[in-house]
Chains A and B, each alone.
Chain A
Amino acid sequence: MLFTVALRSLLRNKRRTAVTLATIAVGASALFIFRGFNTGLLNEYRKNAVHAHYGDGQINTLGYRDKVLAKPWDAWMSEPDIILQQLLKIPGVEKVFPRLEFAALVSNGTRSLGSRGVGINGVAESDFFYTINVVAGQALRAEEDGIVLGKGLAHSLDLAVGSRVTLLTNTIHGTLNGADFRVVGIFHTGSRELDDAFFQIQLPQAQKLMDTEKVEKISLGLANHDLWPQVAAAVQQQFPQIEATPFEVLDKIYYQNSVDFLNAQYLIVRFIILFVVVLGIFNTATSAILERTQEIGMLRANGESKSEILKLIALEGMIGAFLGALLGIIVVFALNQTLLKDGFYMPPGPGITRSFKTYIELQWAMAGEAVGLVLLAGMLGSILAAFKVIRMSISQALRQVG
């Protein structure tokens, strides 16, 4: 019966209920769409970070990333082929990319610039690392003497596709070594850190330059990034001397900080939206409850306690909030299937220099969260509105002129 009264009470004043439902619907849809937008944005950030450079994560020897080593090659991984084969047997691991990162001078014959290079398996990586945005030429594939440069680095040395460059480096034994390469591509990841000082060559070439057969790290490509914790645990179990680090840690400055920033922003926006919804509900519920003061007095005269009256009013608020939220959720789903279907371009995010396309990514859990928050707001707004009437004595409520 309580539910019947609560539900039908919404129909007492249809216009007022319509205004309340609209307020709630706008609030719920704002919460839902903003959450979906945030998720879409973060997924784009994640995709950009994973497929630009880091993969889903990488493995090094234990403690390698935390120490500054005089001879880092002592901590590089020997017999990488055995490790690679074992890694590919771990469920969820689809790709393995051995790498060797080193410092080198890149010379165009007249000028040299200090930079960081990475030796990669060009054929294997070219498919996975597709957000390395190649702006000229192509990604590194099978070209033995090919080199791909960051856009900033190429610009600084006036290099174009087809140019010859010389790499100068020290081997792990301390002797000077060098080799000539041909520029096959220029990339633009969007991250200035990479674009201004980074180049890629084939892994065997890098090993030859460093005079080693070791690899420094292995990047992993997973079937699904959510599998990372299980993969990391399996790596830890099979290779106690190796540690696995997710890309969120490797790319903390841009990715993780962006995630934290956006989440903090969402919290504030969520609070503001909920505050507005509570105020909206409070406003309309106050008039509705004041009009029913005598009815509330009658209910109390017939034995309803203050808390039971509050329960009835909160239930009314929550039913209204639920219906409004449902309306808002449906509107957002409809918008996302029509006007927002093709996504939209966002200006470059933190640490990224190119704009990118993002989508509103809606999930049922988000809809549930939006409904839950709005229900809470509905309950809170109604209860706050009821306090004045609840504090009256029963006789006062009965005497009140509606």
Chain B
Amino acid sequence: MDALFCGKNLSLKYQLGDVQVDALKDLHFSIEAGKFTCLAGASGSGKSTLLNLLGLVEPMQSGQLIYRGRSIADLSESEMNHIRRFEIGFVFQSFYLIDVLTAEENVEYFLARQGRSVDLRRQQARAALDWVGLAEHRSKRPNQMSGGQRQRVAIARALAKEPKVVLADEPTANLDSKTGADVLALLLRLCRERGCSVVMASHDSQAIGLADCVIRLRDGQTVKES
């Protein structure tokens, strides 16, 4: 199986007030395409930082990160934008939907930015919402929906882009256990039915149990890859 991501000697530091935090220390890992991978670890272990690096939203500092055979360090700003726009879907802990748009428009927005025609993107947005079970809620705005529904819109938004990989950062953290389980099931379906790679940062044991592959982190270092 091809490696989707491959990290070698990845390190990242950031300043928190007067303290310098080693968020990632000399990290080595490999993530295979088409799998459901879980970045597991306690709060502050570096899993979200790593996910941000994978999503090209955190600037690289040292080490090497390879995405589908290309070193991230060699990518120009516009190449990174292109990858983020066409190949990566994000699902965030806090959903980050555009609150002035309806559920359907939230999904449609990035399809429009990909240059898809009005008819096509509308059809695909509706199909994505239907897939996450929100066909009847497509005209609602985020503030008219529950947390679980909003997260499902976020998943629909990510999957409609037809990305190579969906990166999910603690997608169940703000949800109750039943809703969280539904969201996890959706992400798993996304991976199984659509062959989309999913990389999820989570400390939820249920999520870890479902994953094909788990990268455990502690204090910014890999503890175990299974």
Q: Which residues of A contact B (CB under 8 A)?
A: 1-2, 4-5, 8-9, 11-12, 294-295, 297-298, 300-305, 308, 393-395, 398
Besides A4-B101, A303-B82, A398-B92, 16 more A-B contacts (Cβ < 8 Å) are: A8-B100, A9-B100, A12-B99, A12-B100, A298-B90, A300-B57, A301-B84, A303-B81, A303-B110, A304-B81, A305-B77, A305-B81, A393-B58, A393-B59, A395-B52, A398-B52
The CA of A308 and the CA of B84, in the complex, are separated in Å by: 14
The CA of A295 and the CA of B98, in the complex, are separated in Å by: 7
- Nearest CB of chain B from residue A313's CB, rounded to whole Å: 14
9 A–B contacts, CB within 8 A, in A order: A1-B109, A5-B101, A297-B96, A300-B57, A302-B85, A302-B161, A393-B58, A393-B59, A394-B52
Q: Is the CB of B205 closer than 8 A to any CB of chain A? A: no
- Nearest CB of chain A from residue B117's CB, rounded to whole Å: 12
Q: Is the CB of B94 closer than 8 A to any CB of chain A? A: yes
Decide if B55 touches A301 in the complex (CB within 8 Å). yes
B211 contacts across to A, CB distance below 8 A: none
Q: Is the CB of B113 closer than 8 A to any CB of chain A? A: yes
Decide if A298 touches B96 in the complex (CB within 8 Å). yes
B105 contacts across to A, CB distance below 8 A: 1, 4
B170 contacts across to A, CB distance below 8 A: none
Decide if B94 touches A294 in the complex (CB within 8 Å). yes
Decide if B100 touches A303 in the complex (CB within 8 Å). no
Q: Is the CB of B78 closer than 8 A to any CB of chain A? A: yes
B77 contacts across to A, CB distance below 8 A: 305
- Nearest CB of chain A from residue B110's CB, rounded to whole Å: 5
Residue of B83, B84, B88, B96 near A295 (CB, 8 A) is B96
Residue of A5, A12, A303 near B86 (CB, 8 A) is A303
Q: Is the CB of B112 closer than 8 A to any CB of chain A? A: yes
A2 contacts across to B, CB distance below 8 A: 112
> Per-position contact with A for B99-128: 1 when CB-CB < 8 Å, else 0?
111000100111011000000000000000
B157 and chain A: residue at smallest CB distance:
A302
The CA of A301 and the CA of B157, in the complex, are separated in Å by: 13
